[in-house]
Structure 1
């Protein structure tokens, strides 16, 4: 009892000296319901390829709590987050819960660079995404540690080692290096990233998969009416198949050996721009290709076009349109050949948000979406390019209501 009391007293003294107990509450949520013409309930169809607006079938939430503790010139930030996903089909349901983040980040503790941050734990590590398609094209999040924002002139270097799976054979890891803030022309910068995915085997180990490399270059262009990003990525082995599909980069790394000869690349362009006083638009353009993918050594490619224009009636009410098209070739489910796939979507939503910006949230929206499977006789006959089961008939119409918020 005495030991516990001493520890409690020490913790209380530390917190009282460095903090006013101002816990930061942050997070994200989306929730809603829809009625479809052919499937009955909510439908999600090729979201990363044709757009997410009016095309999500789950409830998702993230609840984060963080605290900054200061001692002298040092800042110690404690971060935590719980994430949950559920169907949202009834008022009380069992959902998937995950401790998504649980880390400590210390700034000012390294004598060679007081602006650098030393960290360890589980964290969303410098994720890169395209919001309108919910596509995380670079996501090496997980448990590990490293140093962020080491100053090299005007550039910032970040180094990390993060675990990437474990089973009876051994464990996988990602060695991640980023160099940001590389100046280009006016209002433009370049960020470079290199991820090396490798594994260690235990005494029972039998990994046949090769180590893989993922290289990323991001050109960010600020403009007077918004911003634009162009992304080029190359991947080998287990990263090759990810680059050739809209799976993100942080998807399970295949160590079976099936992807050892694979090579993939993709070129993405996205951004958000003001088009006059009342119009604003986001977009995604993507081309993805791979060679020697899977055991059948197939060549595949696909492309995606998504646009989301928004008309602002006033500071609160807006009408949002979203049109998307995604088509190309993918491996069949057996992995023995190539099949064509294609899909399209058009959505109209009437929405109310806390502000008139494209990014203003919370936002409540009422929507109607028309979904089109362009290659299969019915949605239920196959899976889309992201591995999601397709449901309903050739075409489907969905009406619904949804809220989205971040804070």
Structure 2
């Protein structure tokens, strides 16, 4: 009887061992959870009792105040992170946004739906997988729609580096530094390859003069002028008391003539303390030509150009920690054509801006922003003549930030401000949205949070 039990016991032990191996499978999930991050920017601003639809040239490096035009911008990033027994991990990221660029003060009557600008949109949706054994523990791959490798000026707020579109990429470590390759594609904004018109005929047969009551009608489809960027990057090279990042982008555009179907952008970024003092700075120089004329490294649906389009872009910005109570942000940016830029010959733009900040107590910070912006080009560019060929814009702003943490980047905060913008002549003032005269006072309250 004992001898008959031995094979049975052995079979049971084998089965249990097999079950134990299965229970410890490399694909078993050991971590699985969700993260929610986001951003909010609510700007209540008035000019003589009226809301306005202008940023006073801020995207063109002419001013650096708080007067962005989005009255109610909300952004959420939801990430699902999973880790497995064998070291493989994955992220699923979705970024949604509402209100970016809308300047109207919306009420509860449903006008947000009637005005189809800046509606709810899914801006990013991608999956990234890393830790796969045959790729290496430092290697990950991703695919989907993404804002990729972004960098923005501190006071201008302008993204000078990014690849925004749909694509795929691989990132790894080479000699201890981050290296990667990505291919990103974007179609021009608003489906410009297709032709649309407004159908304003109402049910009663009348023709409405209110565009919000009209329907958008597609008249036909044209050839798509799809843009593509091949990104190569190598980041984190230690040298000269800081670190260097290197970017190269090779761009192309479909269904364009041979004089505007390609481009190349390259840039070097230097990260260190505040020019030898306590704080931080990011300094970059980029070159772009053809399709890459927009600062070389700024790729998206706005890209495009021709063989004559060449630009040089230099920027340096950061925050200086002066004392326990004083901090100062600063930005110097120069953006110019080597030949032609955005269809203008010899176009030049530059801005110098500072924002000293004084910590009154843990929950109150006082700020002053001052900027000087300059633009020039050959007479006649964008139909500009006479005094408007060159423009000088001065912006001075006073603000008090009521916040939960009065550090320079303490958020959330509610910041009442008064901003004064003055141009050197009325023509230049009109270009940045000043209606009467050559100056304007903006009174507002800017609320901001990120998490």
TM-score by length of 1: 0.84
- Secondary structure of the corresponding residue to residue 163 of structure 2: coil
The reply on whether 1:213 has 2:264 as its aligned counterpart is: yes
State the alpha-carbon separation in 2 of the partners of residues 270 and 318 from structure 1: 21
Structure 1 contact 43–391 (Cα < 8 Å) conserved: no
- Match of 2:230? 175
State the alpha-carbon separation in 1 of the partners of residues 300 and 231 from structure 2: 12
- Match of 2:80? 67
**Structure 1 residues 162 and 46: CA distance shift in structure 2, 3 A:** same
Structure 1 range deviating more: 335-344 or 214-223? 335-344
Structure 1 range deviating more: 219-228 or 41-50? 41-50
Q: CA shift at 1:342, angstroms? A: 2.2
State the alpha-carbon separation in 2 of the partners of residues 295 and 392 from structure 1: 28
State the alpha-carbon separation in 2 of the partners of residues 81 and 165 from structure 1: 19
The reply on whether 1:238 has 2:285 as its aligned counterpart is: no
- Match of 1:402? 446
Q: CA shift at 1:27, angstroms? A: 1.0
Q: Deviations over 1:186-220 (max 9, x none)?
A: 3x00000011111344xxx7665131111110010
Instruction: Name stretches of at least 5 consecutive residues in structure 2 with no aligned partner.
Output: 1-26, 194-222
Structure 1 range deviating more: 21-30 or 173-182? 21-30
Q: CA shift at 1:320, angstroms? A: 0.8
State the alpha-carbon separation in 2 of the partners of residues 221 and 356 from structure 1: 24
- Structure-to-structure mapping, 1:334-349, within 5 angstroms: 334=383, 339-349=389-399
- Structure-to-structure mapping, 1:153-172, within 5 angstroms: 153-165=175-187, 167=193, 168-172=223-227
The reply on whether 1:299 has 2:346 as its aligned counterpart is: yes
State the alpha-carbon separation in 1 of the partners of residues 318 and 280 from structure 2: 6
Which of 240, 250, 262 is the equivalent residue of 1:196?
Answer: 250
**Structure 1 residues 71 and 20: CA distance shift in structure 2, 3 A:** closer
Structure 1 range deviating more: 345-354 or 46-55? 46-55
Structure 1 contact 373–394 (Cα < 8 Å) conserved: yes
- Match of 2:382? 333
Which of 83, 86, 92 is the equivalent residue of 2:97?
Answer: 83
- Match of 1:123? 146
**Structure 1 residues 327 and 154: CA distance shift in structure 2, 3 A:** same
User: Considering only aligned residues, what root-mean-square deviation do their CA atoms show, in Å?
Assistant: 2.8
Q: CA shift at 1:238, angstroms? A: 3.0
Which of 365, 368, 384 is the equivalent residue of 2:415?
Answer: 365
State the alpha-carbon separation in 2 of the partners of residues 289 and 221 from structure 1: 25
- Match of 1:273? 320
State the alpha-carbon separation in 1 of the partners of residues 346 and 43 from structure 2: 39
- Secondary structure of the corresponding residue to residue 379 of structure 1: helix
- Match of 2:14? none
Q: CA shift at 1:334, angstroms? A: 4.5
- Match of 1:228? 281
- Match of 2:24? none
**Structure 1 residues 171 and 192: CA distance shift in structure 2, 3 A:** same
How many aligned positions are there? 376
**Structure 1 residues 299 and 38: CA distance shift in structure 2, 3 A:** farther
State the alpha-carbon separation in 2 of the partners of residues 294 and 369 from structure 1: 30
Structure 1 contact 146–160 (Cα < 8 Å) conserved: yes
- Match of 1:12? none
Q: Deviations over 1:76-127 (max 9, x none)?
A: 1000011122324122423423211100011112524212221000111010
Which of 12, 24, 37 is the equivalent residue of 1:26?
Answer: 37
State the alpha-carbon separation in 2 of the partners of residues 189 and 391 from structure 1: 46
Q: CA shift at 1:20, angstroms? A: 6.7
**Structure 1 residues 277 and 185: CA distance shift in structure 2, 3 A:** same
State the alpha-carbon separation in 2 of the partners of residues 248 and 37 from structure 1: 36
TM-score by length of 2: 0.76
Structure 1 contact 296–335 (Cα < 8 Å) conserved: no
- Match of 1:324? 371
State the alpha-carbon separation in 1 of the partners of residues 346 and 307 from structure 2: 14
Which of 66, 91, 102 is the equivalent residue of 1:54?
Answer: 66
- Match of 2:155? 132
